């Protein structure tokens, strides 16, 4: 088992069934040792605090059998598909078909999204899910500025989401300010925190940066939990006002929007309004990002991602470049947070754990780091996938973790793994991202 995967594949093509059985047997033995105590024995604290245990050898046996069978299947698949890593030739017809789909996929998706409340007007569940997906699309696009464009790995993005959510919640509940006043404020406050985090991390390289941002996210969460006078601690903030249609409430009252328009009131109006609100916010994020990419600052971000040393040599001020990336990304996170607070009506620190950061980061990476369309599709796939596993509450994060590992092994570059350069000489040519070296951000 010390052979490299390459050698294993080579040997398996010549060795056949005995090798297959041997590999599967070894894997099964490893699985038996790994799971013997953790699965085979179940411990639980009894009512008197005394720890008891019982055995689950049936479960253990079935897992070991599954590993045995699974490794035979994987080995067969590996032989059948052939060595991985070889460049697969795509026929030109398929390639042009793909590029055709690629060109019209984004507009088609946008039109479909605009029509979602019309098509699914009576299906509250789908509308709620769509709002959730759009929230993550927006978060993904916001984080994409930091990770995808500027190449700075941020593991604490949820901190800015939390700052935005708490800004709106506290301003609205304490001072009664309206959503439309608080929304820009939430964005500005989050951007301020982004700059505050940005300052210390300017000198750090990729991995260190990741850990510092993670620590920052945890600090924000711990402060929210412990500063009970301000934030309500673990109990959160409740009774956050619902958004109004620029001052006109969306409720059943006499001066509500429904009464003013002389139509019959329905609770769905508010959901549809929230849907278009988050869609507008997400599209704003997208539009700003696309425009910024064409400005010197956006080009500086991408240059920074590719090579920081070269950037400095060319006279780009890396300090301001990094700070603007952090601030821009954080601002969109803040907007999304304010939206989250007004939609839920209740927020607590539990919504802002590291898992959220990891989920948004997974969306950006799965989307191909820098591709706007890819991020949107990845958010749809991730949140949709989460919904499919909703019934398996405890297994959900297990599956999510496995999916993250498998995606990294299978397609480390994400779904849409090429980048169209923003600056080109004669013809824009998409570069496979395998050729793009990551910077030292």
Residue from 126, 404, 415, 422 that binds another protein (CB under 8 A)? 404
Q: Which is nearer to another protein, 184 or 200 (CB)?
A: 200
Of the candidates 299, 300, 290, 294, the residue with the CA atom closest to the CA atom of residue 320: 300
- Write out the binding residues for another protein, residues 298-317 only, by CB under 8 A: 309
- Segment near another protein (CB under 8 A), from 206-214, 328-336, 337-345, 378-386? 206-214
Residue from 57, 180, 208, 287 that binds another protein (CB under 8 A)? 208
Residue from 41, 73, 195, 263 that binds another protein (CB under 8 A)? 41
Q: Could you give the CA distance from residue 196 to residue 190 in angstroms, rounded to a whole number?
A: 10
**CB-CB contact of 414 with 369 (8 Å):** yes
Q: Does 112 bind another protein (CB under 8 A)?
A: no
Structure tokens at 281: 């916010």
Q: Does 25 bind another protein (CB under 8 A)?
A: no
Which residue is listed with tokens 């402060």?
223
- Residue 46 buriedness (CB in 10 A; 0-12 / 13-18 / 19+): exposed
Question: Binding-site residue total for another protein (CB under 8 A)?
Answer: 62
- Segment near another protein (CB under 8 A), from 11-19, 246-254, 288-296, 389-397? 389-397
Q: Which is nearer to another protein, 100 or 199 (CB)?
A: 199
- Residue 260 buriedness (CB in 10 A; 0-12 / 13-18 / 19+): exposed
Q: Does 18 bind another protein (CB under 8 A)?
A: no
Q: Which is nearer to another protein, 185 or 204 (CB)?
A: 204
How many residues are given for the chain?
Answer: 441
Residue from 153, 165, 182, 325 that binds another protein (CB under 8 A)? 153
- Backbone CA torsion sign across 240, 245, 248, 250: negative
- Segment near another protein (CB under 8 A), from 11-19, 171-179, 208-216, 343-351? 208-216
Q: Does 319 bind another protein (CB under 8 A)?
A: no
Q: Which is nearer to another protein, 43 or 238 (CB)?
A: 43
Q: What does DSSP assign to residue 54?
A: E
**CB-CB contact of 62 with 15 (8 Å):** no
Residue from 14, 17, 33, 427 that binds another protein (CB under 8 A)? 33
Q: Does 51 bind another protein (CB under 8 A)?
A: yes
Can you list the pairs that 181-187 forms with residues at least 24 positions away whose Cβ atoms lie under 8 Å? 182/338, 183/335, 183/338, 183/339, 186/334, 186/335, 186/337, 186/338, 187/331, 187/332, 187/334, 187/335, 187/338
Q: Does 207 bind another protein (CB under 8 A)?
A: yes
Q: Does 36 bind another protein (CB under 8 A)?
A: yes
Tell me the CA distances in angstroms from 401 to 39, 138, 360, 379, one per residue in order: 19, 22, 13, 16
Structure tokens at 44: 């639980």
Q: Which is nearer to another protein, 1 or 17 (CB)?
A: 1
Query: Cβ of residue 6: shortest distance to another protein, in angstroms?
Result: 10
Query: Cβ of residue 88: shortest distance to another protein, in angstroms?
Result: 17
Residue from 10, 25, 43, 287 that binds another protein (CB under 8 A)? 43
Q: Could you give the CA distance from residue 243 to residue 280 in angstroms, rounded to a whole number?
A: 14
Query: Cβ of residue 218: shortest distance to another protein, in angstroms?
Result: 6
Query: Cβ of residue 358: shortest distance to another protein, in angstroms?
Result: 5
Residue from 73, 181, 219, 280 that binds another protein (CB under 8 A)? 219
Can you list the pairs that 391-400 forms with residues at least 24 positions away whose Cβ atoms lie under 8 Å? 397/355, 400/359, 400/362
- Residue 318 buriedness (CB in 10 A; 0-12 / 13-18 / 19+): middle
Query: Cβ of residue 148: shortest distance to another protein, in angstroms?
Result: 11
Q: Could you give the CA distance from residue 133 to residue 359 in angstroms, rounded to a whole number?
A: 12
- Segment near another protein (CB under 8 A), from 128-136, 337-345, 378-386, 409-417? 409-417
Query: Cβ of residue 182: shortest distance to another protein, in angstroms?
Result: 27
How many alpha carbons fall within 13 Å on the CB side of residue 313? 5
Query: Cβ of residue 175: shortest distance to another protein, in angstroms?
Result: 27
Q: Could you give the CA distance from residue 343 to residue 279 in angstroms, rounded to a whole number?
A: 13
Q: Does 32 bind another protein (CB under 8 A)?
A: no
Contacting positions for another protein (CB under 8 A): 1-2, 4-5, 30, 33-34, 36-39, 41-45, 49, 51, 53, 153, 155, 200-201, 203-204, 206-208, 210-212, 214-216, 218-219, 222-223, 225-226, 309, 354-355, 358, 361-362, 365, 394-395, 397-398, 400-405, 408-409, 412-413, 438
């Amino acid at each position: 088992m010390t052979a490299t995967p390459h050698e294993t594949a080579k040997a398996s093509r010549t060795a056949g069934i005995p090798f297959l059985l041997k590999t599967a047997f070894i894997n099964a033995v490893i699985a038996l040792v790994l799971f013997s105590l953790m699965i085979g024995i179940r411990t639980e604290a009894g009512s008197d605090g005394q720890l008891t245990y019982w055995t689950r050898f049936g479960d253990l046996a079935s897992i070991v059998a599954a590993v045995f069978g699974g490794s035979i299947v994987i080995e067969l698949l590996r032989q059948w598909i052939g060595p991985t890593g070889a460049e697969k030739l795509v026929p030109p017809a398929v390639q042009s078909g793909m590029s055709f789909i690629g060109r019209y996929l984004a507009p088609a998706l946008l039109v479909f999204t605009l029509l979602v409340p019309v098509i699914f007007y009576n299906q509250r569940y789908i509308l709620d899910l769509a709002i959730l997906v759009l929230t993550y699309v927006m978060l993904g696009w916001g984080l994409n500025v930091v990770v995808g464009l500027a190449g700075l790995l941020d593991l604490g993005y949820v901190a800015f989401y939390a700052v935005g959510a708490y800004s709106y919640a506290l301003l609205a509940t304490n001072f009664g300010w309206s959503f439309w006043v608080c929304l820009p404020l939430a964005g500005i406050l989050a951007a301020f925190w982004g700059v505050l985090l940005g300052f210390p991390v300017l000198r750090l390289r990729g991995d260190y940066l990741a850990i510092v941002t993670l620590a920052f996210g945890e600090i924000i969460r711990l402060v929210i939990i412990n500063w009970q006078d301000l934030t309500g601690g673990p109990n959160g903030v409740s009774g956050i006002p619902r958004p109004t249609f620029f001052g006109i409430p969306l409720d059943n009252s006499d001066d509500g929007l429904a009464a003013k328009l002389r139509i019959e009131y329905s609770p769905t109006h508010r959901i549809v309004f929230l849907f278009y609100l988050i869609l507008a916010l997400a599209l704003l994020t997208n539009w700003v990002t696309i425009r910024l990419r064409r400005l010197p600052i956006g080009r500086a971000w991408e240059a920074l991602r590719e090579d920081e040393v070269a950037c400095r040599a060319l006279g780009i001020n890396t300090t301001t470049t990094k700070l603007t990336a952090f601030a821009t990304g954080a601002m969109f996170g803040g907007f999304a947070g304010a939206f989250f607070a007004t939609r839920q009506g209740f927020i607590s620190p539990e919504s802002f754990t590291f898992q959220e950061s990891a989920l948004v980061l997974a969306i950006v990476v799965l989307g191909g780091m820098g591709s706007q369309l890819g991020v949107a599709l990845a958010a749809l796939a991730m949140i949709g996938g989460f919904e499919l596993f909703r019934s398996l509450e405890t297994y959900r994060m297990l599956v999510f973790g496995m999916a993250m590992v498998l995606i990294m092994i299978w397609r480390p570059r994400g779904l849409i793994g090429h980048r169209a350069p923003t600056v080109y000489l004669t013809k824009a040519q998409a570069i496979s991202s395998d050729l793009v070296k990551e910077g030292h951000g």
